[in-house]
Amino acid sequence: MSAENATKRDIRALDLQALKAFFAQHNQQAFRANQVYQWLWQKGAHHFDEMTNLSKSTRELLDTHFVINHIAVDRQQRSSDQTIKNAIRLHDGLTVESVLIPTETRSTACVSSQVGCSLDCTFCATSQLKRMRNLNPDEIYDQVMALDRQSQLYFGRPLSNIVFMGMGEPLMNYKNVIAAVERITEGLGLSPKRITISTSGIPKMIEKLADENPRFQLAVSLHSAREKVRNQIMPFSTSFDLETLQKSLQYWYQLTRSKITFEYLIWKGINDTQQDIEALVAYCKRVPSKVNIIEYNPTDFGDFEGADQKVIEAYKMALERARITVTVRRSRGKDIDAACGQLANKLIPLES
């Protein structure tokens, strides 16, 4: 970024009313604000020169006062299963990763919400990185727009789903994530029901989210319904015990009538016993929920090994007997480290 641009405000930090105020201050008609807003949040413009229905003088006015700090796809990797991982360069040189996961009929965007992570889950590569900063709403929006373009280019269809399961803890960047969801639904016309916010379980923030009565889905990385085991693999959870988490999830369901999805990894020697299975079934009975068992993806951190297939099947059968919906998800993009828990960068600032 040039020294001149560094002193300008990013125009995407302004809402529509602030844009209208800016144009009024400069003796411009109010409808110009609507045009600019459409360029920013529906068409994903990266430069003022792209705003072709504005006069040259209006574009110069915007360029004098503002900048658009858009992201850049610095590197793109494509898996043998067609999954695409992007290394995203931010305006300050830091990087995050996002993933496009295609199936025969759907394209799902997995996006990041923080540079690094605020939490300390021992099995996740991202958690080994220091949290550098939260992402702004426009930086999250840009990830989605980049993945939407790739989906249309490579698979001939727009995005069908968005999951906040990339780098970072979304509820530790609450305000910006909520703002990003609003921009995404406006810009892409995607139903909020096709958006999932995945959290490691911050009860206070789950309740705050429920109070806003959102229309998107909630997923919780649970991985154990036994306190001691969960504290071992997710040390931050010592501050948020399972009972407190349970109450916040019951509150969520009471206000939204939307079931929670429990994301659940199973490891050999950690949570692969009958006691672990029974604890999960009992927990799910107390919280209106469904379970998504995820294949474990090895990282360079921690001594974890995926459980035997017979254990996974035992979990599945026990949940089904209790009439709890369960799916077993096979990971995508493992050969390019794009699978769940593998997203990580060295976060070395890149040259502009």
* Catalytic residue flag (residue 284): no
Catalytic entry in 50, 60, 97, 320: 97
* Residues contacting 201, CB < 8 A, separation 6+: 220, 221, 222, 237, 240, 245
Look-up: residue for tokens 């015990």?
A: 241
Q: Cα dihedral sign for 178, 179, 180, 181?
A: positive
Question: d(Cα 77, Cα 100) in Å, to the nearest integer?
Answer: 10
Query: Which is the catalytic residue, given 110, 121, 284, 340?
Result: 340
For this structure, is 340 an active site residue? yes
Q: 297: number of CA atoms within 13 Å, CB side?
A: 19
Contact predicate 120/301, CB 8 Å: no
* DSSP code, position 306: B
E strand map for 65-160: 66-67, 72-78, 84-89, 95-102, 107-110, 114-115, 133-134
Which positions are catalytic?
Answer: 97, 340
